[in-house]
């Protein structure tokens, strides 16, 4: 098949990657997309490098068998921890979120930035490392939010205990007086309504918009934009398609009709 007509694979541990997919889809409707929510392995954010590498390798192998032209790592945790280890192993394009976003944010006029992310992303210091590649005179304050992914996946924003967790994390990071706070986990933009109860909404930066632009520019540069076909969306999860379908409708405008990815297919090559 001509390369540009192949699908784009996108993955995350669950709902989070939809914040990236939504952005990409709004700008690029003619593509065929395959979204994979790895709900069986959720959350990624407390896993060690060897486990994340195994998980990401499985997902990349699945996408390779699906003959995609590109894989979008709509997941900060695997972009931070395993991208370097797998980036040269596949023939298709690979787009990691942090690395694509870092150059843009470093080009802006900030001197103090906060980052909210999962524990694994924060422990890797990936945001600090990649932003400092492009700009040295900047202070980055990193704060792990180990409970936030669960709050999004369970759709339990309004629970009082969870509200207090969110508020406390916010207070901790605000002590460093950042000019802006990067939402360094793709689940977190779904908490923006809650976050903006305490701090102005424009305090937060969702990397998805800039990430989607970078992906589109690079696809165009390599003549990989699918201009002719009408796009099709296929969605797989590794467990619980019903609950994914229900919760994804809260964030996405239509039913993604998630299908359970065949266990045998999923675990080939472990």
Residues 237-266 that bind ligand DGL (CB under 6 A): none
Where would I find the H helices in the chain?
Answer: 18-27, 49-65, 76-81, 83-86, 97-106, 119-124, 126-134, 148-153, 160-174, 192-195, 208-221, 241-251, 263-267
Contact between 110 and ligand DGL by CB under 6 A: the answer reads no
State yes or no: is 235 an active-site residue.
no
Contact between 77 and ligand DGL by CB under 6 A: the answer reads yes
Which residue in 10, 23, 33, 45 binds ligand DGL (CB under 6 A)?
A: 45
End-to-end CA distance of the chain: 28
State yes or no: is 210 an active-site residue.
no
Residues 208-227 that bind ligand DGL (CB under 6 A): none
3-class state of residue 21 by DSSP: helix
In angstroms, give the least distance from the CB of 42 to ligand DGL: 5
Which residue in 7, 13, 99, 226 binds ligand DGL (CB under 6 A)?
A: 13
Stretch that binds ligand DGL, among 3-11, 39-47, 63-71, 134-142 (CB under 6 A): 39-47
Closer residue to ligand DGL in complex, CB, 82/149: 149
Stretch that binds ligand DGL, among 43-51, 127-135, 196-204, 237-245 (CB under 6 A): 43-51
**Which token pair is 146?**
């180990």
In angstroms, give the least distance from the CB of 136 to ligand DGL: 26
Which residue in 118, 124, 238, 247 binds ligand DGL (CB under 6 A)?
A: 118
* Partners of 71 in the β-ladder: 9, 94
Cα 162 from Cα 150, distance rounded (Å): 10
Q: How far is CA 246 from the centre of its chain?
A: 20
In angstroms, give the least distance from the CB of 255 to ligand DGL: 21
Which residue in 122, 140, 185, 210 binds ligand DGL (CB under 6 A)?
A: 185
Which residue in 6, 69, 143, 187 binds ligand DGL (CB under 6 A)?
A: 187
Q: How far is CA 259 from CA 22, 163, 171, 199, 221, in A?
A: 19, 32, 40, 38, 33
Closer residue to ligand DGL in complex, CB, 72/224: 72
3-class state of residue 140 by DSSP: strand
To 10 degrees, what angle do helices 208-221 and 97-106 make? 100
Residues 120-159 that bind ligand DGL (CB under 6 A): 121, 149
Cα 19 from Cα 74, distance rounded (Å): 8
Cα 95 from Cα 134, distance rounded (Å): 18
Stretch that binds ligand DGL, among 59-67, 71-79, 159-167, 175-183 (CB under 6 A): 71-79
In angstroms, give the least distance from the CB of 17 to ligand DGL: 6
The answer to whether the beta carbons of residues 184 and 98 sit under 8 Å apart is yes
Cα 20 from Cα 36, distance rounded (Å): 13
Contact between 39 and ligand DGL by CB under 6 A: the answer reads no
Q: Which residues bind ligand DGL (CB under 6 A)?
A: 12-13, 16, 42-45, 75-77, 118, 121, 149, 185-187
Q: Catalytic residue positions?
A: 75, 185
């Amino acid at each position: 098949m001509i390369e540009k007509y192949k699908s784009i694979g996108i993955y995350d541990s669950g709902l989070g990657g939809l914040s990236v997919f939504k952005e990409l889809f709004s700008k690029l409707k003619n593509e065929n997309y395959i979204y994979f929510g790895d709900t069986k392995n959720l959350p990624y954010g407390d896993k060690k490098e060897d486990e994340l590498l195994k998980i990401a390798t499985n997902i990349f192998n699945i996408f390779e068998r699906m003959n995609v032209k590109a894989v979008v790592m709509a997941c900060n945790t695997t972009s931070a921890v395993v991208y370097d280890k797998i980036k040269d192993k596949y023939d298709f394009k690979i787009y990691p979120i942090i690395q694509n976003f870092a150059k843009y944010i470093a080009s802006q006029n900030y001197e103090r930035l906060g980052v909210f992310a999962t524990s694994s992303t924060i422990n890797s210091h990936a945001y600090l490392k990649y932003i400092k590649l492009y700009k040295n005179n900047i202070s980055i304050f990193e704060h792990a939010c180990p409970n936030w992914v669960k709050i999004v996946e369970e759709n339990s924003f309004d629970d009082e205990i969870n509200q207090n967790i969110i508020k406390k994390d916010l207070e901790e990071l605000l002590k460093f007086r950042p000019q802006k706070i990067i939402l360094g986990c793709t689940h977190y933009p779904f908490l923006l309504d809650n976050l903006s109860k305490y701090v102005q909404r424009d305090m937060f930066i969702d990397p998805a918009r800039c990430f989607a632009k970078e992906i589109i520019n690079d696809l165009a540069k390599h003549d990989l934009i699918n201009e002719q076909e009408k796009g099709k969306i296929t969605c797989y999860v590794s467990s619980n398609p019903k609950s994914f379908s229900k919760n994804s409708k809260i964030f996405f405008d239509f039913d993604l009709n998630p299908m359970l990815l065949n266990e045998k297919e999923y675990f080939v090559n472990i």
